[in-house]
Structure 1
Amino acid sequence: MADPENTLIMETTKGRVVIEMRPDLAPLHVEQIKTLARRGFYDGIVFHRVIEGFMAQTGCPHGTGTGGSDLPNLRAEFNSEPHVRGVCSMARAQNPNSANSQFFICFDDARFLDRQYTVWGKVTEGMENVDKIKRGEPVRDPDKILSLKVAADAA
């Protein structure tokens, strides 16, 4: 396994997904996600917006895409990493500095998002499970994150 301190293990209703985080690209975003994961914030949160051929979005405590955590929003850490299959990137509102807890995983290349959303990681195992997540916008009876843990803590 890569660095366990920068690896997330996400158990979903469709199976396990392993995400390698990239603090070299987005140190503030990685730190916020780890903090929230360690608090159990993501446990039980649904994939509320899942678009075929595009991405699966999660991280809203209301399950609607309207909320975030009680931590402050993050300033953008846009980088040159391309939005391709398996990439994890932060969702945000119109304001580029409005990312908080919501993120999405790309099903396919979405290069039109490059340098406008903060890439912070990539799925290294279990992408076939991401592919099985129920589609919809909003999703009826959505799949969810059962647990999201930092690998260093999951021993």
Structure 2
Amino acid sequence: MLRTLRQWLVLMVVTSAIVLGGCSPQGGAQSSAASPSPTQTASTPVTPASSPQTVGLPRLNGTATVALVVKGSTITAEIDGTNAPVTAGNFVDLVQRGVYNGLVFHRVVREPQPFVVQGGDPQSKNPNFPPEQLGTGSFIDPATSQPRYVPLEILPVGAKAPVYSKTFAEAGITAKPKLTHKRGALAMARSQPPDSASSQFYITLADINFLDGNYAVFGYVTQGMETVDKIQQGDRIESAKVVKGLENLKTDAKS
């Protein structure tokens, strides 16, 4: 009974940590949330052509390596465009644009047990922006002067293409996702609408399996989890760089 209550409390904390965090196309709040090991990859990239929501979005055809510097220490992550081409492409494109430089980790949840660290709200670059309002921002594409949103994108094990714009429960899928919420997973924060992810992301501090099939994992920390474990609310990303695989980023995607 005590264990069940504890799991329920964790679920409540988790849900609020992932569903209360930023602007969505529908005007809601943008959210969110593996041992530190390399990403699982398939032999050939999946294609996002089955979803009209992916048209014109950046795509990562393969993998890329990103280095985040926090408190003078480097966190290295392998970004998996093989299994999450649109989600990974969006993140790598934002890193390459310098969007994450100077942004704050505005949400850190370690109690009642380790959960996630979350950042990526562009509003946090302004040190005078009210901290209590962080988690409400999205990336504004300078080409359109509009927020850029990416669809929920999750590849089931054994499938040839990801499921777009639906959670596994909504799509009636019982298979596990190819990319799971292991400790060290990077995934996109979003609000309740499935296609509301933009720039906010989270890193899991433990295995958070009940998020599988609900949020889009796009990579894993491969080095520096000890730094992730020490991140405190208000810590800034000093720099974010693509150190390998930039040639796999396609920013002129037509489908």
Matches within 5 A, 1:101-140: 101-134=199-232, 139=233
Q: Is the Cα–Cα contact under 8 Å of residues 14 and 129 in structure 1 kept in the other structure?
A: no
Counterpart of 1:11? 69
Give 1:57-96 correspondences, 5 Å limit: 57-63=118-124, 64-71=134-141, 72-79=148-155, 80=177, 81-96=179-194
Structure with the higher helix share, 1 or 2: 2
Give the 3-state SS of the residue equivalent to 1:6 in structure 2: strand
Moved more, 38-47 or 69-78: 69-78
**Equivalent residue pairs, number:** 146
Counterpart of 2:218, as a letter, is W
Aligned partners of 1:153 and 1:42: how far apart in 2? 18
Corresponding residue for 1:144?
236
- Taking structure 1 as the reference length, the TM-score comes to 0.88
Q: Which runs of 5+ in 1 are unaligned?
A: none
Corresponding residue to 1:35 among 93, 115, 128: 93
**CA displacement at 1:152 relative to structure 2:** 3.2
Distance 1:25 1:113 in 2: 17
Give structure 2 stretches of 5+ with no counterpart: 1-37, 39-61, 125-133, 142-147, 156-176, 247-255
**Cα deviation digits, residues 76-109 of structure 1 (max 9, x gap):** 1023022110000100011111111110000001
Identity among equivalent pairs (%): 39
Q: Which amino acid aligns with 1:39?
A: R
- DSSP-derived class of the 2:123 partner: coil
Structure showing greater radius of gyration is 2
Say yes or no: does 1:55 pair with 2:55: no
Structure holding more strand per residue: 1
Displacement of 1:153 after TM fit?
A: 8.5
1:44 Cα shift?
Answer: 0.2
